[in-house]
C-alpha cells in the first residue's frame, strides 16, 4: 500500500507541474507556410554565377500546371520587386521561372548590388503571398 501511495504522490506532482506550465508539454508548432533564400543570405557578397538555394516550409513545391491549394513553384525577380498576390508573373527578362519544381539554380549577374525577390506562383504563375527579399552584392 505504501508503494501505491508513493506512486500517487509522484503522479500528483507531475500533474501539478504540467498545470503550472500551462498544461502543454511542448510548444505549439508554427504551421504557417513560408519561403526563403537558403543561399545567398541577405547582405552577402558573392561572385557570379550566384549559387541560389530556395526553401519552402509547410508549402509544397511542384511543377507548374495544375492549380492546387498549398502548392506552387518558385520565381526569382532580379530587376523587379515582388508582385501583388494574384498578378501573373510574366515570362520576361528578370523574371526567373522554376516551373519544374526546382529548388536550386545559378544566376549570371554583372557586378553590382541587387535586391532579389523569391516569390511563389501557383500552377498558372499567379503570384502567391509567399515571398522573401534579400539584397546581395556581386563582385
Q: What is the pLDDT of residues 34-59, one digit of tens each?
A: 999 999 999 999 999 999 999 999 99
What does the DSSP 8-state code read for residue 48? S
Predicted TM-score (pTM) above 0.85: no
Express the helix, strand and coil content of the chain in percent, nearest 5 each.
15, 40, 45
Under 8 Å between Cβ of 60 and 96? no
User: How far are the Cα atoms of 14, 43, 56 from residue 5, in angstroms, in the given order?
Assistant: 14, 62, 52
For residue 117 the three cell numbers come to 525577390
For residue 126 the three cell numbers come to 499567379
| CATH architecture designation of domain 34-138 | Sandwich (2.60)
Amino acid at each position: 500500500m505504501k508503494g501505491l501511495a508513493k506512486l500517487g504522490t509522484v503522479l500528483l506532482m507531475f500533474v501539478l507541474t504540467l498545470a503550472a506550465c500551462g498544461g502543454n508539454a511542448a510548444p505549439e508548432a508554427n504551421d504557417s507556410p513560408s519561403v526563403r533564400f537558403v543561399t545567398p543570405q541577405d547582405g552577402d557578397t558573392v561572385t557570379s554565377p550566384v549559387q541560389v538555394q530556395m526553401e519552402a516550409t509547410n508549402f509544397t513545391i511542384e511543377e507548374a500546371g495544375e492549380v492546387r491549394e498549398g502548392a506552387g513553384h518558385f520565381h526569382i525577380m532580379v530587376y523587379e520587386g515582388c508582385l501583388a498576390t494574384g498578378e501573373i508573373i510574366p515570362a520576361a527578362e528578370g523574371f526567373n521561372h522554376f516551373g519544374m519544381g526546382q529548388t536550386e539554380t545559378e544566376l549570371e549577374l554583372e557586378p553590382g548590388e541587387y535586391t532579389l525577390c523569391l516569390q511563389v506562383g501557383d500552377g498558372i504563375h499567379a503570384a502567391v503571398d509567399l515571398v522573401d527579399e534579400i539584397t546581395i552584392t556581386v563582385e
